[in-house]
Structure 1
Amino acid sequence: MTNFQPTGALAEARVARAAVFSGVGRPLELRSIPVADPQEGEILVRVVGCTLCGSDVHTYTGKRSTPLPTILGHEILGRIVAFGPAAARRDARGTSLHEGDRVTWALVASCGACFYCRRGLPQKCLCAVKYGHEPLHEDARLRGGLADYCLLAPGTAVVRLEDALSDEAACPANCGTATMVAATEAAGDMHGGCVVVLGAGLLGLTACALARSRGAADVILCDVQSPRLARGAAFGATRVAAPGELGAAAAGATQGHGVDVVIDSAGTPEAFESGLALLRLGGAFILVGAVFPTRPVELHVERVVRRNLRLCGIHNYAPEHLVKAVAFLEQSKHPWHSLVADWLPLSECTRTFQRAQDPAVLRIGVRP
């Protein structure tokens, strides 16, 4: 755990190092950037650690685009350094916030008043600030995790963390864990049911654990990588299967009727096409992993209608899902610490991204 020393008016913390991403094929550039004092509803935090999400790697390798230049990294933990004059002094659970508190925060800051915020989709706010995805402007407000500091925008849901929750468990809470809380809620009642999880990365393992916590009797985890499947039982999977074995596993678990829910964290067209065929009448398919462009898939709409199927896409989450994610992790006995392979210094960010492309590495972290 990073030691925290209050800085008062930031007299000793005016400059931050930040690993700036300027384009595919270019090494991350470690820059010195002035630290802006928090204004109005902003909160300044000193970064404790940031784990690299699959979407960070997709941006780094060119699978998805983002405004440039930018500071990547959104699975961030920090300790509060200073509050803006109008910043909230209670977190999303109603707990008092103080300088020095270790916190996580929602991936997206929202206004609470726009078209989408009023319709329960604050993650699609028309005025959104999305951490790890914002362009680095001349005002140099730090909005990504690969830096010494991060400046939280007004409208950011913050959650104070208990000391007992490890950095390894807490870092992905505001991305993979909270997203999977939203996904499993969207799937509906799982009690006594059979759930298939496609993809055994951090998202998929989290889906297994959440599905079991919601009462699923059978959770079948599928992946092309055997080493990833080997982790499944520790996170609640009752069966594991390679893609060629999945149909038989699902049929055996349901007497041939089909599974109640498929959660796709793999995001490939092949995963969608194979998973859809596994559903029982009235089953639900929850799409989570398709966050980069792929080929189109073939979908027979008549079959969806006649089989009473439900298809639902989940991208990010609302603040209440982050609150539930942290509460889940605080009670969970699963070995979340084992999912972060290593922590490397901020000065070695380029090497960190290289290591993150290894399929055996589910998460790797950066510490300033």
Structure 2
Amino acid sequence: MKQAKFPMETAGKVITCRAAIAWTINAPLCIEEVEVDPPKAGEVRIKIISSGICGSDNHILEGKTKTPLPAILGHEGAGVVESIGEGVSSVKPGDKVLTITVPQCRKCDSCLHAKGNCCLKADVIYPVGLMLDGTTRFTCRGMKVHNLFGTSTFTEYTVMHEISVAKIDDAAPLEKVCILACGVPTGYGAAVNTAQVTPGSTCVVFGLGGVGSAVVLGCRAAGAARIIGIDINERKFARAKALGVTDCLNPRNFKKPIQQVVVEMTGVGADFTFEAIGTIETMVAALESCNLSYGVCVIIGVSPTGSQLSVDPMKLVSGRTLKGCLLGEYKTRDHIPLLVEDYMKKKIDVNSLITHSLPFVKINEGFELLRSGQCIRCVLIF
């Protein structure tokens, strides 16, 4: 496939386009006309082709995760570079790219460390919703509109820092690989990088949505013998089993705590557990579900802003390991393009995670599919 050619007449100019704006929490997104400024030095303007709807976006709309509003949400995007700012060298107009919430500046302590991937220029842990210079590139109704995690993909055009843009294979189908910008590497990497799941092991996955399903793929790829999936929405069970889950549990079907059920099922507790929901209760349950001596528990879910995780220290003194995981521990600009290559070689089954595709204007329908548990991942097509 030849590289996409992009008209240059828009370079350096403000672009007027459509975007879905979150004006307030607990309300539908509004499709609005917005002005998108041209990129400044070190920045890239991207025409968005597709975007996944992630649970993190929903947490913001429900008020669980605090971020400045009004904002253009969305972070799991794929698109084509429209124009670049001064000094940008890693991408050029016409390149296919993924929008990454965790940048890789390749200069800070975290980027330079062999294991670190939480770049110090990221806006994902305590988001302020602005570019690194403290401004925004979006305007609507004469008001400045915040971005999300330095990405914002629920818009026909967005502006990002070069350090957050991953150039990918020009043959990659953008309507599929967008979820490799967040959900897939977050879950898959939690299994293969953070936990380092071993062949023949028993794994437990709390939450069978998009990220939890990607955890299942990672556990299966690593050779896990048993994968127990836990969710209160039984609509997800059939799809989960098709991905590789061996046992499905609904905590509401038991009179005892689900961690006790898991320990009794396994006899000694699981080797590896993963929390992909984002509540304190399920994080504690995941920790207590793993083997008290050598079990590894990985926290992936985004907890409500300001929440505190309280754990009996004796749960750890016995030998358990409690770990956190951000975007699968991948150094994003280095490794995300390699995951796209693996997808192209059919090594990672991304397609099975995309259960629904909708036109961008039906974005609120996509969120309803997510909330009802009817989809694993819904992708918006622009």
Q: Which residue of 1 aligns with 2:100?
A: 106
Q: Which residue of 2 aligns with 1:363?
A: 377
- Counterpart of 2:181 (choices 145, 162, 174) is 174
Q: Which residue of 1 aligns with 2:276?
A: 265
Q: Which residue of 2 aligns with 1:233?
A: 241
Contact 2:197/2:272 (CA < 8 Å) preserved in 1? no
Q: How many residues were matched structurally?
A: 353
AA paired with 1:365?
Answer: V
Q: Which residue of 1 aligns with 2:144?
A: none
TM score, norm. by length of structure 2:
0.80
Contact 1:197/1:208 (CA < 8 Å) preserved in 2? yes
Contact 2:357/2:381 (CA < 8 Å) preserved in 1? no
Q: Which residue of 1 aligns with 2:207?
A: 199
1:136-192 residue CA offsets vs partner (Å, 9 max, x unmatched): 956438741111112221322413145354623x12211111212442211134122
SS at match of 1:263: strand
AA paired with 1:339?
Answer: I
Q: Which residue of 2 aligns with 1:92?
A: none
CA distance in 2, matches of 1:350, 1:72: 12
Q: Which residue of 1 aligns with 2:287?
A: 276
Distance 1:114 1:99, change over 3 A: closer
Aligned-pair CA distance for 1:263: 0.9
Distance 1:246 1:303, change over 3 A: closer
Percent identical pairs in the alignment equals 22
Q: Which residue of 1 aligns with 2:316?
A: 304
SS at match of 1:47: strand
Q: State yes or no: 1:155 paired with 2:163.
A: yes
SS at match of 1:58: helix
CA distance in 1, matches of 2:365, 2:130: 23
Q: Which residue of 1 aligns with 2:217?
A: 209
Q: State yes or no: 1:69 paired with 2:70.
A: yes
- Identify the range of structure 1 (27-36 vs 131-140) with the bigger mean alpha-carbon deviation: 131-140
Aligned-pair CA distance for 1:226: 1.4
Aligned-pair CA distance for 1:22: 1.9
CA distance in 2, matches of 1:15, 1:333: 37
AA paired with 2:42?
Answer: G
Contact 1:199/1:221 (CA < 8 Å) preserved in 2? yes
CA distance in 1, matches of 2:137, 2:197: 47
Output the aligned Cα RMSD: 3.2
AA paired with 1:199?
Answer: G
TM score, norm. by length of structure 1:
0.83
Q: Which runs of no fewer than 5 residues in structure 1 stay unpaired?
A: 90-96
Q: Which residue of 2 aligns with 1:289?
A: 301
Q: Which residue of 2 aligns with 1:52?
A: 53
Aligned-pair CA distance for 1:202: 0.9
SS at match of 1:158: strand
AA paired with 2:10?
Answer: L
AA paired with 1:312?
Answer: K
SS at match of 1:155: helix
Aligned-pair CA distance for 1:58: 1.2
CA distance in 2, matches of 1:288, 1:138: 29
SS at match of 1:68: coil
Aligned-pair CA distance for 1:203: 0.9
Aligned-pair CA distance for 1:298: 4.8
